[in-house]
Amino acid sequence: MTNKITKNIQISLLLIATLGVMSGITVVSSLPLISHTFSDIPHIEFLSKLMLTLPSVIIALFAPFAGHIVDRFGRLKPLYTGITLFVIGGSSGFYLHDFYAILAGRAVLGFAVALIMTSLTALIGDYFEEKARHRFMSKQGLAVALGGILFITSGGLLAQIHWSYPFAIYFIPLLFLPFLLRSLYEPEKHKHSDDPELETKLLPVYITAFFVMVLFYMLPTQLPYLIVNTLGGEPKSIGFVIATAMTFNALTSMQYAKIKARLSYMKIYAVTFMLFALGLFIISQASSIAQLYFSTIPIGMAFGLLLVNTNAWFLSKVPPSRRGKASGILTSSFFLGQFSSPLLFEPIVSAYGIQGLFLIVSVFSLFISATLYANNRK
């Protein structure tokens, strides 16, 4: 596909990309308040985290099927269906006040995001050639980070008024849906490429995507409880700390194309895991909210590269005719990691506390970085 993609198309794709981050962290500041509001429900502190991660398991289960839909019916019909369901399911917490009914709305949100993210990844692969794709993905990383800053900050401020108000943010896609309808076009269907070993080739990418998200979702699922319950902060503090990390995420994402021109995918991973380890270590030693802000620089920089690098690595390996199905599996891997994050870390939190968890994962991340660096030296 040509490199000369119109400005409106690029803006449309960037707007769609922000929906992925909106689906999760928008309501993160409400989690402690939700657990207090529904305190009569057994194990509500753990169940309230499912408000954030339940969509992830639905996405993980449905995304491979969404990939088949995108390959068969095109990119745009599943995309617009997903956006409609996104608004309905995402905003449910604003007008429903039964905990389990809101969880059901979060499940609908999961179906929606599976369709949206799978369609988006396929469209980016269809619209851009490789070098232009790296440049666009720098912009995408920036847009996602800025969207994260906007949504987490807005969610934190709205949660100060009432825990349900951040759910109203999910109405926002209605505003730019007309612009998408005017700007995007359906790409031509590609001839089928028969590569029986493709899934084996992509397996390292899928595994990496899973673990990247397990680590990424430590912040929205664990940090709110550290800030509110341990360090005595308010819901808006959660938003400001995570938004600061997202600022450095944005600044680093902008440089991805330049960094990729100098470093291989694996070398970028080595650098990012080292930065991530440093940020987690700072959190593990923090005794005040002010100290948490020092962790936002390396953590933000790490995530500014991790997600973009994984998507770019994936698109460099998959042929055009298989992008829908493969994108579905990649989406599934990302969001299975989101859902698994609190489940995998809950035993460690129970045994060593949240800061103990951050210290242990810091050491593990440093080990990954050193291993990748040693392998690249060879």
Q: Specify if 172 maps to a domain.
A: yes
Q: Is the pLDDT of residue 204 over 80?
A: yes
CA 281 – CA 276 distance, rounded (Å)? 9
CA 249 – CA 148 distance, rounded (Å)? 10
**Contact by Cβ (8 Å): 261, 312:** no
What would the pLDDT profile of 226-273 be if each residue is shown by its tens digit? 888 888 877 678 778 887 888 888 888 888 888 988 888 999 999 999
Q: Specify if 127 maps to a domain.
A: yes
What would the pLDDT profile of 109-132 be if each residue is shown by its tens digit? 999 999 999 999 889 888 888 788
Q: Specify if 1 maps to a domain.
A: no
Maximum average pLDDT range among 39-43, 187-191, 209-213: 209-213
CA 116 – CA 79 distance, rounded (Å)? 5
Q: Is the pLDDT of residue 174 over 90?
A: yes
> Which pLDDT value is given to residue 191?
61
Q: Specify if 14 maps to a domain.
A: yes
> Which pLDDT value is given to residue 278?
95
The stretch 76-80 carries a mean pLDDT of: 94
> Which pLDDT value is given to residue 130?
77
CA 222 – CA 285 distance, rounded (Å)? 15
The stretch 11-31 carries a mean pLDDT of: 85
Kindly report the backbone phi and psi dihedral angles of residue 193, in degrees, each rounded to the nearest multiple of 5, phi listed first: -110, 115
Residue 150 corresponds to which tokens in the numbers above?
């906007």
Centroid of chain to Cα 87: 18
What would the pLDDT profile of 277-294 be if each residue is shown by its tens digit? 999 999 999 888 888 899
Residue 68 corresponds to which tokens in the numbers above?
């088949």
> How high does pLDDT run on average in the chain?
86
CA 341 – CA 357 distance, rounded (Å)? 12
CA 351 – CA 127 distance, rounded (Å)? 49
The stretch 334-343 carries a mean pLDDT of: 83
pLDDT band with cut points at 50, 70 and 90 for residue 327: confident
CA 81 – CA 75 distance, rounded (Å)? 11
Neighbours of 5 (CB within 10 A): 16
374 or 24, greater pLDDT: 374
CA 291 – CA 340 distance, rounded (Å)? 28
- Residue in this structure with the two tokens 């891997």, named with its chain if needed: 333
> Which pLDDT value is given to residue 11?
93
- 3-class SS of residue 105: helix
Coarse DSSP helix, strand, coil percentages of the chain, rounded to the nearest 5 percent: 85, 0, 15
CA 14 – CA 120 distance, rounded (Å)? 9
Q: Is the pLDDT of residue 25 over 80?
A: no
Residue 255 DSSP one-character state: T
Specify the CATH number for the domain of residue 124: 1.20.1250.20
Whole-angstrom CA distances from 101 to 23, 98, 105 are 17, 5, 6
The stretch 11-39 carries a mean pLDDT of: 84
Extended beta strands in 198-257, E state: none
Percent with pLDDT over 70 in the chain: 96
pLDDT band with cut points at 50, 70 and 90 for residue 3: very low
Of 203-207, 238-242, 342-346, 369-373, the poorest mean pLDDT is in 238-242
Q: Is the pLDDT of residue 194 over 70?
A: no
Q: Specify if 241 maps to a domain.
A: yes
Q: Specify if 2 maps to a domain.
A: no
What total number of domains does the chain contain? 1
The stretch 34-39 carries a mean pLDDT of: 83
H/E run at residue 252: helix 235-253
Angle, CA of 281, 283 and 284, to the nearest 5°: 65
Maximum average pLDDT range among 14-28, 171-185, 313-327: 171-185
Whole-angstrom CA distances from 21 to 3, 11, 228 are 26, 16, 22
Q: Is the pLDDT of residue 1 over 60?
A: no
Instruction: Give the closest residue to 2 by CA, choosing from 185, 137, 127.
Output: 127
CA 340 – CA 45 distance, rounded (Å)? 16
> Which pLDDT value is given to residue 195?
61
Q: Specify if 189 maps to a domain.
A: no
The stretch 7-13 carries a mean pLDDT of: 92
**Contact by Cβ (8 Å): 335, 57:** yes
**Cα end-to-end distance, the chain, whole Å:** 36
Percent with pLDDT over 90 in the chain: 31
Instruction: Give the closest residue to 137 by CA, choosing from 7, 257, 262, 294.
Output: 257
> Which pLDDT value is given to residue 271?
93
Maximum average pLDDT range among 107-111, 160-164, 341-345: 107-111
Maximum average pLDDT range among 38-42, 101-105, 236-240, 336-340: 101-105
Q: Specify if 192 maps to a domain.
A: no
Q: Is the pLDDT of residue 334 over 50?
A: yes
Domain region containing 52: 7-184+197-377
